Amino acid sequence: MTAKRAEATNSALMTLDAVMFDFDGVIVESNTIKTEAFRDLFANEREHVDAIVALHRRHAGVSRLVKFDMIYRAILRRPLAADERDELGARFQRMVMEKVVACPMVPGALELLQSLAGCVPMAVVSGTPEGELREIVMRRGLEKFFFSISGTPRTKPEIVSALLKDNGWRADRVLMVGDAIEDLNGAQANGVPFVGRVPKSDANPFPADIPAVEDLSGVAGAIERLARPVIH
C-alpha cells in the first residue's frame, strides 16, 4: 500500500466502527484444502462424492456439522446419529488443521491487517468451529490483529448481530469482507455493508450490486468508497 493510499484509507477508517472478515478464502487460501477434505472424507461414497462436494461448495461458510446433516438427509438419504456426526467433524479437523496452519495467506491480506491495526477494531466471523479457528489464528501469529475471533456453532448472522450489540457498533459504520453467500447473508441480515472476495479464476457468486475484489489488496479502495456514504 502506497503512503498516499494508506493516508486515504486511514482517513476513511475514521468513519468506521469495525471491519469484519471471514477467514477461509479471505485471510488464508484454505478453500481448496476444505473442499478436498470433503472429497476424502466421503471417498467411499463413490456414486455421491461429486454431489457431496458440490453441496459443500454451494453452502460455503456454513458449519461443517450442518453440512453433514444436509449430506445425509438430501444425498445419502440415511440417518446420521449425533455421535457419528461428531466423529466426522473430528476426522475433518484432523485432515485440515495442519494444512490450514501452513497454507499461504490471501494476497494483500497481511498488508491490509497491518495497515488497519490500531486504526479500527477487526473481527473474524467464520464458519469454522470456534476452538479450531482460534487455534489456527494463534498458530499463524495473527491473533494480535483481531479484537474478536468467532466461529460456529453460532451462525454468521448471529455472530454479526452479537458483535454489533455487544460493542455498540452502528451497522452502517461496519464493513464485512467475505467470499461466500453465507457471509453476505450475515452482513445483510444486520444491515452491514459488504465486499466480496472473488479470485480471478472463480465465478462471482454475488449479486451485481455487491462490490467485489480479486484479493485483499483491493479492500483498501473499497473501504474508501464505502466509508464515505456513512458519514453523517
Q: Is 83 left (phi over 0), alpha (psi -120 to 50) or beta?
A: alpha
Residue 112 grid cell: 491490509
Examine the domain organization and report whether 183 and 75 are in the same domain: no
Cβ atoms of residues 112 and 219 within 8 Å: yes
Q: What is the pTM of this model?
A: 0.89
Among residues 49, 74, 102, the one where a domain terminates is 102
Instruction: Tell me phi and psi for residue 29, to 5 degrees.
Output: -85, 70
Residues 84 and 187 in one domain: no
Sheet holding 122-129, edge to edge: 148-152, 122-129, 18-21, 174-178, 194-197, 212-213
Averaged over successive runs of 10 residues, the pLDDT of the chain (232 residues) comes to 52 80 97 96 95 95 95 96 96 97 97 93 96 98 97 96 97 95 97 95 93 91 67 41
Structurally, the chain folds into a number of domains equal to: 2
